[in-house]
Amino acid sequence: MPAVEDLARRWWIRGRRIGSVERAGKFIDDVGFALLFPAPKPIAPSLWEAVADEDDEPFGSGMGENEQRVWTWKDELPRRGLAWYGAYLGGRGSFLSPALLAALYPGDGDLDDHERLDLSPAAHEIAAALAVEPLSSATLRQLLGDKNRYQRAIGELQKNLLVTTAGVQESSNGWPAALLTLTCEQFEVGNGTDHSAAALQYLDTMLTATPAELARAFRWPSAQARDLLDELADTGRAVADGNQYRPS
């Protein structure tokens, strides 16, 4: 396992705090992937930990300045094309850098990419609607007529990187609703996957990893994750130590 201090430096927990959406974009470009808020286990860096003071707990005193800042940026970063956002790493709200997104995106970058994936009818219905225009989460819930069905369908689409947020839309109840769009409308994707590059980014960010950890992060079969790490080791881009791998 890497030292806590090493991870803290790599994940921007040490040093100058992030105070702008532009620098938040640079953070995600650097680490490649990040959660919105930290998880119980250190499965990934988080934007919150790079923004707040080290000892701060999210929502420890309600919706404070830092909470409001990162909550706003989760919609603003993808709107500006600085980072993809959706439920991805461990099913939690996650950011991917444009480069990592392109390396992982499973389709051709077309509006009908969803048709070639094994998705539920509700997920296909949402994707087809978003192919016409971006829509708010409230509108999509009304389209399906069932909140739980909507949540499951959006989860499917985001797990497959097909949908992201693109800002917010004001609503009549005073709370803005997330505006959703197809990933291929917001980012340059579809030129083919590069799973070796994605595996190398994972190692560079996590400092060490097992095949099982890499497989969990990007939803790959364990055998594929091991083959990719072995390839990195064979080509001198990683070092293998038993079941652990680290960047060379």
What pLDDT shows up at residue 167? Answer: 85
What pLDDT shows up at residue 113? Answer: 98
CA gap 48, 5 in Å, rounded:
18
Q: What secondary structure letter does DSSP report for 188?
A: -
Nearest to 198 by CA among 181, 221, 175, 215: 215
In the predicted structure, residue 111 carries a pLDDT above the cut 80 = yes
Burial class (CB in 10 A: 0-12, 13-18, 19+), 63: exposed
Bridge partners for 136 per DSSP:
179
CA distances to 34, 109, 124 from 39, in Å:
11, 31, 30
| pLDDT tens digit sequence for 73-101 | 999 999 999 999 999 999 999 999 999 99
In the predicted structure, residue 191 carries a pLDDT above the cut 90 = yes
| pLDDT tens digit sequence for 14-53 | 889 999 999 999 999 999 999 999 988 768 999 999 999 7
For residue 73, what are its two tokens?
């940026």
Average confidence (pLDDT) over 108-137 = 97
Q: What is the dihedral of CA 177, 105, 93, 53, to 10 degrees?
A: -120
What pLDDT shows up at residue 166? Answer: 87
